[in-house]
Structure 1
Amino acid sequence: MGKCRLTGRIVIPDDPEYDLAREEFNTHYDLFPSVINFCKTAEDVSNAVCWARKNNVKFRIRTGRHSYEAYSSLNNGLVIDISEINKIKVNHNTRTARLGAGSLLFPLYEKLYEKGYTIPGGTCPSVGLSGLTLGGGWGMLTRPFGMLIDQLIELEMVDAKGNIIVANSEQNADLFWASRGGGGGNFGVVTSFLFNVIPVDRVATFNIVWDWKGFDRVVEAWQKWAPFTDIRLTSILDLLTKEKGEIRALGEFYGKASELWRLITTLIKAYPPKKIEVNNVPYIDAVKMFGGMIPGMEEYSVSHGDPDAHPFKNTGAFARELLPPKAIKILKNFLSNAPSSENLVELQALSGRVSEVRSRETAYVHRKALFNLQYITKWENEWEACANTRWVEGLRDCLLPHADGAYVNFHDNCIDNWLEQCYFKNLPRLIEVKTKYDPENLFRFPLGIPTARR
């Protein structure tokens, strides 16, 4: 195997599988790479980086294809796809697991669950482990176990010279710091992670649905409860459009259903629900529930050509204080006048173990946030794109006095001060690390961290 030549599986435009290979989850973007390199090993990745550097070919790094602005692909360049680097190896003695960085979440959860473990990752079944982790990573076990990066011990990375290096608390410690929240695509190509894994068997879940008339009271009650309740409980609140006419709260409790009933009393009393479900379930069934998968399905194929792929424009912000009534009114007004009935706002409870880590201890800086707000819009016809994009960006702008900052995994090219909003006081150090490990800015994309020499 020679350096500076592509190895692994190669797909080019003439190949019959090219259209499937180039597809992104956000179908608003229709990109045409010159070469797609499906790497199977770290050596394949090293060869791809060397080849791109030697031939002065622009490239992007891709795992699950979920970049909101499709920055994991490009026209007329190389896509380094690591989704086939997906092996796992669990060490029961140390309760750790070496995970291929290209793993997609649902297959990964299944494999870990078979061995009695999990990691506190995200919910979408086809999201890639690498991008999720490098941005910070949260999900339904965030409050009891922190961000996904808080369970990260070590990573293996191909750097800008094509070298395969290791980063942990002792070796390349500055790179390890930056890789915990600095975002994917900035410093190199991660090929594997070493995580602490969490023993898991059964968990309790809840699903409460209200009529839209209870909007103000439910939002008020949820935000005063979700970041402060029992640390074993993580909850989200989905605010649907007035046209859809519902609000729903869901959550996962690292405990028993009998305890969970007591904990959700506050929400039940806020406004009479029209539906309440509390269940004690195998953990993998909870994964399916929060991943939007049909309960009880025997098979679920997380593959490219995802049937759930659609055009969308999402963005978000962090609330470090409770939303005042005027902010709740803004949410209500926007959801009353949404251009698509499919639009929604999702509140993700944080705090808990997340806030126990200092904001400078990792690159992920939003440690004091009580919850994140994700503003979500999708459409079917291309002529609907402008109205929905204006809606989601207008909502974020109107709520900036009450919720700001940006999550690096929610790429949004409409935010002018993107880097400052993502990293706040950690940005200068991230630029230093970027300059040290990638001085020529080989790893670059429109919202990426720059080097000190622009």
Structure 2
Amino acid sequence: MKSYIYRGLTGKVITRYSPEYEEARQEWNRAIQKFPLAIVYCHNTEDVSNAICWARSRDIRLRIRSGGHHYEGYSTGNDVLVIDVSQMNHIYLDEVSNTVQVQGGVTNHQLYHRVAAEAYPFPGGTCPTVGVIGYTLGGGWGYSSRIFGLGCDSLIELEMVNSMGKVIKANETHNSDLFWACRGAGGGNFGVATGMTFRLPPKIDKVTLVELEYLQASTEIRIQFLSAWQQWLMDLDQRITINVSIYNSVVDGIGIYGRGLFYGTAKEADMVLQPLLQLEGARFDLKEMTFFEAIQKIEESYPDSEKFKSTGRFVNRQYTMAELKNIADLIGWRAEGSVYAAVSLYALGGKVGAVNKKDTAFYYRDADYIMGIQSVWKDRRYESDNTDWVHRRFKYLESITDGSYINFPYSCLLNYEREYYGGK
């Protein structure tokens, strides 16, 4: 290796000749296997700026990575320079102003741990190792969205290194167009976001962790659940946010599993959930605990990595019984080599829909929920079978939904600008 080639880069530089390269190049989705020219772990905005200027001067493409959770692997690439901000993970909480500042590499787990120490909740994501900034740039759905809004709805200001290597700020009054775009238009489009300041929700004592399950769910039960779900969402108490997966697992067969948070007592949660709990075979668990205890329970279910194909679309209408049957049948069989396949539903509404769709780049404010499709496999030889399985089912979902969620991206979209941004 000729070390002078990388002269001008600061921070920790990993090249193809570095012993750490093989591990450093990996994304959370192990189905993504790319080979960047180099990875620079930045420790401050100067490192980021130097990386941008170095790449521009050499006409080398850039990718930006924080948590490395991009579904399609756009935070890495072949023969690119990966600007990795995961080492920039300082958090400053100000109880006087009820705000929290995070650097670009802070993860959901790190932020939850910090704010919960002072009894604050936060409208963050569900997977512990997802980067807070990438999550927010795409809007940010989580288990507190219906009561506090999307992650981007709590954003007050952001810091970004632009394409010229200059550090800039954006808020409602300064670079307001950039601030508008960075609330829902996705990461990697406008610069390297190196910091964000959020408004914190009120402190809380307890929440109720909600879990519900239907084991060995027949086609009829799946249809009944989907019908009850879409009716239930119409006037739902905004204190609850939940997602439910209709799954086909190599271990558990076909079933339904849901989980979420209710900002109230278990007794109140029981009343709110009754339309779903009355279905035959329903099992549920409602436990009051601190916000951080609930988050820890949720985080425990996530593996360190997976191989998967997944995406999600917005739903804003009621489906007919025939359509509900089609949806229920999507997971009737798994692709060869698949260990888990699911249609997942993520509740919207509440404070998400209270924001005017023109006020941020997140367009689908009036959607009732997000409907996702996914398949997970372990053996790399089954990748094409599983991606084909998802693609065929996506074609049907595309025909009955209205747009794609940029935080659940899909590389096969024919008009991604229209699908992600609603034409904005």
After TM superposition, the score normalised by the length of structure 2 is 0.93
Structure 2 residue aligned with 1:56, among 55, 59, 72?
59
Tell me the amino acid that sits aligned with residue 297 of structure 2: M
User: Could you give the per-residue CA deviations for residues 72-124 of structure 1, whole angstroms, max 9, x where no partner exists?
Assistant: 01122211000111111111111101111211111221112112223201101
In the alignment, the residues of structure 2 paired with residue 150 and residue 227 of structure 1 have an alpha-carbon distance, to the nearest angstrom, of 22
- 1:140-151 mapped onto 2 (5 Å cutoff): 140-151=143-154
Q: Would you say 1:308 and 2:308 are equivalent positions?
A: no
RMSD of aligned alpha carbons: 1.6
Structure 2 residue aligned with 1:355, among 336, 353, 378?
353
Match of 1:416 in 2: 414
Structure 2 residue aligned with 1:323, among 319, 326, 334?
319
Q: Would you say 1:17 and 2:20 are equivalent positions?
A: yes
In the alignment, the residues of structure 2 paired with residue 315 and residue 116 of structure 1 have an alpha-carbon distance, to the nearest angstrom, of 34
1:308 shift after superposition: 2.8
Residues 71 and 242 (structure 1), Cα distance of their counterparts in 2 relative to 1, 3 Å cut: closer
Q: How many residues get paired?
A: 410
- 1:18-417 mapped onto 2 (5 Å cutoff): 18-198=21-201, 199-211=203-215, 212-213=217-218, 214-226=221-233, 228-241=235-248, 244-273=253-282, 275-293=283-301, 308-339=304-335, 340-417=338-415
In the alignment, the residues of structure 1 paired with residue 330 and residue 266 of structure 2 have an alpha-carbon distance, to the nearest angstrom, of 35
Secondary structure at the aligned position of 2:67 is classed as coil
Match of 2:10 in 1: 7
Tell me the amino acid that sits aligned with residue 375 of structure 1: I
In the alignment, the residues of structure 2 paired with residue 31 and residue 396 of structure 1 have an alpha-carbon distance, to the nearest angstrom, of 25
User: Could you give the per-residue CA deviations for residues 268-321 of structure 1, whole angstroms, max 9, x where no partner exists?
Assistant: 113331x22110011112112333449xxxxxxxxxxxx631221111111011
User: Could you give the per-residue CA deviations for residues 165-188 of structure 1, whole angstroms, max 9, x where no partner exists?
Assistant: 000000000000011111100000
Structure 2 residues not aligned, in runs of 5+: 1-6
Structure 1 residues not aligned, in runs of 5+: 295-306, 427-454
Farther-moved stretch of structure 1 (238-247 vs 181-190): 238-247
In the alignment, the residues of structure 2 paired with residue 34 and residue 234 of structure 1 have an alpha-carbon distance, to the nearest angstrom, of 42
In the alignment, the residues of structure 2 paired with residue 190 and residue 159 of structure 1 have an alpha-carbon distance, to the nearest angstrom, of 9
1:242 shift after superposition: 7.6
Secondary structure at the aligned position of 2:305 is classed as coil
Residues 200 and 7 (structure 1), Cα distance of their counterparts in 2 relative to 1, 3 Å cut: farther
| Conserved? CA contact 1:105–1:128, under 8 Å | yes
Secondary structure at the aligned position of 2:56 is classed as helix
The percent identity for this pair of structures is 36
Secondary structure at the aligned position of 2:376 is classed as coil
